[in-house]
Structures are given as structure tokens and as C-alpha cells.
């Protein structure tokens, strides 16, 4: 039975359920939802890098604003690699109080503290052989950062209250919307843990840097609603493209849900969209300074280079220019460059 069009296979094989639309996927391969729509150069570069990262077992740091789909992307990295058949265990480090998070991650033995009436395995043990996602890792308390560093260094976990360590093979993916480097400078994040986690880095671009993906994603989110078929009018599409989307994919999904709920007919007009879209200034509002073509080109080149992890050969390929041309442009922009292999 063919899979729905809303599901794709950007990474690799492994049974899973589509993270956005809940379509069951069989062993013919993992398909993740079109929130990974990759018509934009920035997202194309991210997906190419992600396919390589998925094959590694090294720690990964996923960087991206709130709502860019970091957890969904982490799942795709897991299911696209050799650990696909093993557990994927997510935990939001900012949603659990610090005094409870240690026990949640490491587990505890009976009598370790008041209320510990039985031994309990932690999330590291639950993820044995697979992947542990530490979402909002920048919210980890310093006291727990030390213990996480020890787990990463030694490959062993010790339950709270225990004198024995258990060897574990777990890949750690850390996700955050914060600038970890800035937290290190402020003494809020350990520098040694920062570099232990930051073996591989993947930056997820915000939706405003993915203009070519906005309308395909909007149509996908509309298709998920259990309502009669809806279609965006040209005026509504123009408004979606002009909006800055501070909430990224999550905000776009909610906007399509809102429009689908309030519209009476098949056509979705601007008035059916959330009020904040109607009130927001457009990208070319009179109050906003207009940019020259050179400024637009510079921003685009640097965005693609960042999405490629600084690899100039890959950025040049995406941009459709030679490496020497890219190198000259970077010199013009005043960027420090070093040719990468």
C-alpha cells in the first residue's frame, strides 16, 4: 500500500510513525513529515549534512529557535542510522525540576532518598543501544552537568545512591534554542561539557529563512485537519510569505488549524488567518529599510554557509558557484576564511 504524499524518506530506513501526521510506516522505510520540505537552499544543505550525521554515533548538538522541529529532526537522525531498531528516548531538561532530573536521567536505588521505595532505571538505561535526546540542554543545572560529563567521558552511568556503575552505549543528541557559547562565557554552562557534546553540530534554519518551504508546509498542515478540503487564496499565500514566523513551524501549523476552523467555505482568505498575521508589518513595510541586492546576496551566501557547517565546498555546490568565487565573496564580506577540504 503506497504511503501518503505527506511522508518522505529524507534519511534512511527503519519502522516508525510519521511524527506530524501519525501515518503508520512499515519496514519499507522511515518517512518523516513534509515539515522537512526542502525546496529552500538552506534546508537542502541541512538535509545533506544530516544524512551524514545520522550514520555517526558521535554526540550531536541541534541548534534552532523554538518551533523549528528539533525533536522531530532528532528522531529522524536516530531512525536514519544504525541505532534505528533501538530506543529513542526524549527528555525536556527544562520541564523537570533539577532535584528530580538527576534521578530521571540516571535512575536511583531503593532508599536513595525519601520516596525511593524501589530501584528505578533512568532514561540513560532506557535508551541503551539507542539515542537519548536532551532537549533544552541549556537548562541543565550545573550540578547535573558534572554528572552528565562523567557519563559521556566514561560511558558508564551510576544510579543515585548506588556504588556501582553500569556500562552503556547511548548516543546523545542535545538540542537547544539558546547560545551555549554565551552560556559558557557567563559561567552557566560547563566548557568541558560544551565541547564534549559539540562533536557534530546541526543548525535548523528558522522558517523566515525557508521562504520556498512555507507554502508546501502550509498545504501539508491544512491536509492534516479533519475538515473538507481547503485551499489558500493567492492573497492568503502572499500574507504567509510576508510574515516573519517567530514561532516557526509550530506557529504555521497553528495558523493553518485556526484558518481551517473558522473558514466556512473551501477558500481560505487572509481574514481567516490569526490576527497577529494581519497586524504584523510585511517584509517590505515602509518602516523597514530596503536592502540592496548586494546585501541580500551576502545574507543568503552566509546563511547557506552556516547551514553547511562552514564547509565551503558544499556551500558552493548549493549556491551553484565555484569554490574560488565563494572564497572571493567571503573576502569581500570581510569574513575570516580558510579553505576546508
Q: Are 62 and 74 in contact (CB under 8 A)?
A: yes
The rounded radius of gyration (Å) of the Cα atoms in the chain is 22
pTM score > 0.85 for this model? no
Q: Which one has a higher pLDDT value, 225 or 29? A: 225
CA distance 102 to 141: 10
90 pLDDT above the threshold of 60: yes
pLDDT digits (tens, 9 = 90+) for 16-27: 444 434 333 322
Largest CA distance in the chain: 67
All three cell numbers of 112, joined, read 536513595
CA distance 249 to 252: 5
Q: What share of the chain is helix, strand, coil (3-state, %, to 5)?
A: 45, 15, 40
Strand segments, DSSP code E, in the chain are 7-8, 16-17, 24-25, 32-33, 60-63, 88-92, 107-108, 120-121, 131-135, 156-157, 166-167, 171-176, 200-203, 231-232, 267-268
pLDDT at 283: 53
DSSP class of residue 280 equals: S
pLDDT digits (tens, 9 = 90+) for 294-327: 777 888 888 888 877 788 888 888 888 888 888 8
Count Cβ neighbours within 10 Å for each residue of 306-332 and write b for 16 or more, e otherwise: bbbbebbebbbbbbeeeeeebbebbee
pLDDT digits (tens, 9 = 90+) for 137-156: 999 999 999 999 999 999 99
The structural domains of the chain, ordered by start, are 44-203 (3.40.50.300), 207-279 (1.10.8.60), 293-333 (1.10.10.60)
pLDDT at 286: 44
Give the count of alpha carbons within 13 A of 34, CB side only.
22
- The DSSP element (H or E) to which 327 belongs, if any, is helix 323-333
Cα three-residue angle 18-53-297, rounded to 5 degrees: 95
pLDDT digits (tens, 9 = 90+) for 99-128: 789 899 998 888 878 888 788 899 999 999
CA distance 174 to 246: 22
DSSP class of residue 79 equals: H
Q: Range with the lowest mean pLDDT among 10-24, 38-52, 84-98, 197-211?
A: 10-24
Strand order in the sheet with 171-176: 88-92, 131-135, 171-176, 60-63, 200-203
CA distance 147 to 234: 54
SS3 319: helix
CA distance 260 to 43: 27
| pLDDT, the chain, mean | 83
CA distance 12 to 55: 9
pLDDT at 109: 82
Give the count of alpha carbons within 13 A of 237, CB side only.
13
Q: Are 46 and 54 in contact (CB under 8 A)?
A: no
All three cell numbers of 160, joined, read 543515585
Q: Range with the lowest mean pLDDT among 20-34, 48-62, 85-99, 227-241?
A: 20-34
pLDDT digits (tens, 9 = 90+) for 241-250: 999 999 999 9
Amino acid at each position: 500500500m503506497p504511503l501518503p504524499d505527506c511522508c518522505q524518506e529524507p534519511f534512511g530506513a527503519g519502522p516508525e510513525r510519521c511524527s506530524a501526521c501519525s501515518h503508520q510506516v512499515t519496514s519499507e522505510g522511515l518517512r518523516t513529515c513534509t515539515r522537512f520540505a526542502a525546496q529552500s537552499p538552506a534546508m537542502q544543505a541541512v538535509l545533506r549534512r544530516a544524512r551524514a550525521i545520522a550514520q555517526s554515533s558521535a554526540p550531536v548538538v541541534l541548534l534552532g529557535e523554538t518551533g523549528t522541529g528539533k525533536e522531530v529532526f532528532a528522531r529522524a537522525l536516530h531512525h536514519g542510522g544504525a541505532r534505528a531498531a533501538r530506543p529513542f528516548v526524549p527528555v525536556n531538561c527544562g520541564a523537570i525540576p533539577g532535584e528530580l532530573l538527576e534521578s530521571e536521567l540516571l535512575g536511583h536505588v531503593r532508599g536513595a532518598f525519601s520516596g525511593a521505595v524501589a530501584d528505578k532505571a533512568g532514561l540513560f538505561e532506557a535508551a541503551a543501544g539507542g539515542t537519548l535526546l536532551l532537549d533544552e540542554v541549556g537548562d541543565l543545572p550545573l550540578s547535573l552537568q558534572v554528572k552528565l560529563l562523567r557519563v559521556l567521558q566514561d560511558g558508564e552511568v551510576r544510579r543515585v545512591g548506588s556504588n556501582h556503575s553500569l556500562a552503556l552505549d547511548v548516543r546523545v543528541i542535545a538540542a537547544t534554542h539558546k547560545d551555549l557559547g554565551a552560556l559558557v562565557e557567563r559561567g552557566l554552562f560547563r566548557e568541558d561539557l560544551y565541547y564534549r557534546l559539540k562533536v557534530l553540530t546541526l543548525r535548523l534554519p528558522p522558517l523566515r529563512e525557508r521562504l520556498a518551504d512555507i507554502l508546501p508546509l502550509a498545504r501539508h498542515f491544512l491536509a492534516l485537519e479533519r475538515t473538507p478540503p481547503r485551499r489558500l487564496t493567492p492573497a492568503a499565500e502572499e500574507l504567509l510569505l510576508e510574515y516573519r514566523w517567530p514561532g516557526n513551524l509550530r506557529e504555521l501549523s497553528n495558523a493553518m488549524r485556526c484558518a481551517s476552523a473558522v473558514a466556512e467555505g473551501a477558500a481560505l482568505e487572509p481574514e481567516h488567518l490569526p490576527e497577529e498575521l494581519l497586524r504584523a508589518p510585511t517584509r517590505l513595510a515602509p518602516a523597514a529599510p530596503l536592502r540592496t541586492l548586494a546585501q541580500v546576496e551576502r545574507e543568503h551566501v552566509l546563511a547557506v554557509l552556516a547551514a553547511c557547517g562552514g564547509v565551503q565546498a558544499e556551500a558552493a555546490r548549493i549556491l551553484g558557484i565555484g569554490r574560488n568565487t565563494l572564497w572571493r565573496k567571503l573576502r569581500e564580506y570581510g569574513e575570516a576564511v580558510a579553505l576546508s577540504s
